[in-house]
Amino acid sequence: MIFYNKYKKFRIDNNIDLKEVSKRTKIDIKYLQFIEKGKFAEIPGVYVKLFFKAYINEIGVDIEEATHELNSFLNQKTTSKNLKFVPEPGEKRFTLFKNINNENLFNSSVLMGIGFFALVLLLSFSLNSNNELSQTDLENELRITKSDLIEYYTERSEEIISVNNIDVPITIRFQSNQENYINYFDDFSGKEFFIFEDTMNSQSNSFTEIWNGEKKSFLIANTVDFELIFFSDDVYEDFSQKIINDFPVEVVLDTNPYTLTVIKYLPKN
């Protein structure tokens, strides 16, 4: 298992909430998510090791071993470029290579073949590791609740948007081009929708709901690359630009008159 997947699995197996880790370390949760996905290039370079050590310390894993794994991972490309084949004195060569001259043993074609084979193995290993995390684990990672908003976030802004010339029922279309969570609910029931980055190509990243005019709310984990469109045979309203936020957004649909109340949140501290 790739080391960052191993630590994510360790955290989940020990019921350590990533939001709690973010709260205690004061590290933006998106950077912790980058760590657990191996997306270290998405973290400002000067903070990579600092954030990683804080994360490792918080989940209770040996920092020295984890740091060594991180360094090996970050330096593996440089190391692979500097590899040299130096046979031991008197070493017998494998018969497959006995007719290959020393100077051609590691020519560019051979190196490309080895690199491609290693890449295939790495991708296969990564996919197998990801399968060890259950669907429930992935959903718990993405889910945001009203209690989470109260505990971890504070209101950034609230805006009431008038919806003109609308006749119900009308179709609401949601689309996210990145990993996301949407909860569509009223006072009595709700629906959850998950979009997973690793399965983006095998599942729909959009869905629709019919709004009949009753009061409804929906909670969106993030709206950076998100579409929210109302449409019918006679109406087309695009509210995508009105709800953009790096963090959760709550939208409340109301009638008399028809309005959207958009509440944007920021992490506390």
pLDDT of residue 260: 92
Cα 47 from Cα 44, distance rounded (Å): 6
Summary count for the chain: helices (H), strands (E): 8, 10
CA distances for 164 relative to 169, 214, 218, 256, angstroms: 14, 16, 20, 11
pLDDT of residue 202: 53
| pLDDT per residue as tens, the chain (269 positions) | 678 888 988 999 888 999 999 999 989 988 998 898 888 888 988 789 989 999 999 999 999 999 999 998 888 644 444 544 455 555 444 444 444 454 454 455 556 666 665 665 565 554 444 444 577 877 887 888 888 888 888 999 999 998 877 888 999 999 998 888 999 988 788 899 998 875 444 567 899 999 988 899 999 998 988 999 999 888 899 999 999 988 899 999 998 888 999 999 988 76
Cα 226 from Cα 241, distance rounded (Å): 9
Tell me: cis bond preceding 169? Omega within 30 of 0 counts. yes
Helix, strand, coil percentages, rounded to 5, for the chain: 45, 25, 30
pLDDT of residue 203: 65
- Number of residues that make up the chain: 269
| Beta strands per DSSP E along the chain | 153-162, 170-176, 180-185, 190-195, 206-211, 216-220, 226-231, 236-238, 249-254, 259-267
Q: At what angle do helices 63-81 and 48-59 cross, to 10 degrees?
A: 140
Q: Which domains does the chain have, with CATH numbers?
A: 3-134 (1.10.260.40), 142-267 (no CATH)
pLDDT of residue 198: 59
pTM of model > 0.85: no
pLDDT of residue 95: 41
Cα 82 from Cα 169, distance rounded (Å): 65
